[in-house]
Chains A and B, each alone.
Chain A
Amino acid sequence: GENVEQHPSTLSVQEGDSAVIKCTYSDSASNYFPWYKQELGKRPQLIIDIRSNVGEKKDQRIAVTLNKTAKHFSLHITETQPEDSAVYFCAASIPGGGADGLTFGKGTHLIIQP
């Protein structure tokens, strides 16, 4: 089955700096890669996603890049702010079956230092 590796597990950056979180996946048939943000005690919230026919997608301070050949994708957050502090999860769609469940990475705890 699909396996997703996520690094780093913890990332501390100064407010205003950029943060980059990286993920790799194993199944070349995966075609959908969302990123979720989860605050303590809350549900995961989608922040951006990318499909396999696109190499990059941007939404204001957040961008995602996808390299299908290398089977890795990354989340980039620029001009970080205190409210960006949270746990971030990458995920990849699970090919086959009647519905595309997701395989998640183990998460990155992003800490924004004032």
Chain B
Amino acid sequence: DAGITQSPRHKVTETGTPVTLRCHQTENHRYMYWYRQDPGHGLRLIHYSYGVKDTDKGEVSDGYSVSRSKTEDFLLTLESATSSQTSVYFCAISGTSGSSSTDTQYFGPGTRLTVL
């Protein structure tokens, strides 16, 4: 499955605590994305990265921040978790180095986050 891992796979946390989710790839793909999936909403883009230290906001970025200090890792941080951030979070990657960004996106296995 395209060499993408996510950690942790499951997490339960309390309202107000910070949470960091990690996406790791071994494919040397340039572009990385974070989506959340909720019943009735499909998948929605949170943030994306087009290179090391290059990131931008997606459709539902409020309450989230990201960092990419090296090609293989893309971190998603919930600065102060709320119950509305209970969701399944998917990371995706696309594009080999230098290629067009309009390329197949491969998804990681997902992280199920519950905020109590």
Contacts and interface: CB of A to CB of B under 8 A. Distances in A.
Contacts, number: 71
A100 B58 CA distance: 10
A77 B107 CA distance: 23
Nearest to B95: A99
A93 B102 contact: yes
B45 A32 contact: no
Contacts of A6: 42
Contact of B105 (A34, A51, A105): A34
Interface residues of A, number: 28
Given A34-B105, A44-B90, A99 B42 contact: no
A43 B110 contact: yes
Interface string B36-69: 0000111111001111001010110000000000
A98 B54 contact: yes
Nearest to B1: A43
Nearest to B30: A99
Interface string A46-83: 10010100000000000000000000000000000000
* Overall SS of chain B's interface: strand
Given A1-B59, A44-B107, A46-B106, A98 B101 contact: yes
A25 interface: no
A99 B50 contact: yes
Nearest to A91: B43
Given A1-B59, A43-B90, A44-B107, A100 B102 contact: yes
B90 A97 contact: no
Given A31-B102, A46-B105, A101 B42 contact: no
B25 to A, nearest CB: 14
The 8 closest A-B pairs by CB, nearest first: A98-B50, A104-B42, A99-B50, A101-B45, A43-B107, A99-B101, A99-B31, A106-B42
Interface of A: 1, 6, 31-32, 34, 36, 42-46, 49, 51, 89, 91, 93-94, 97-107
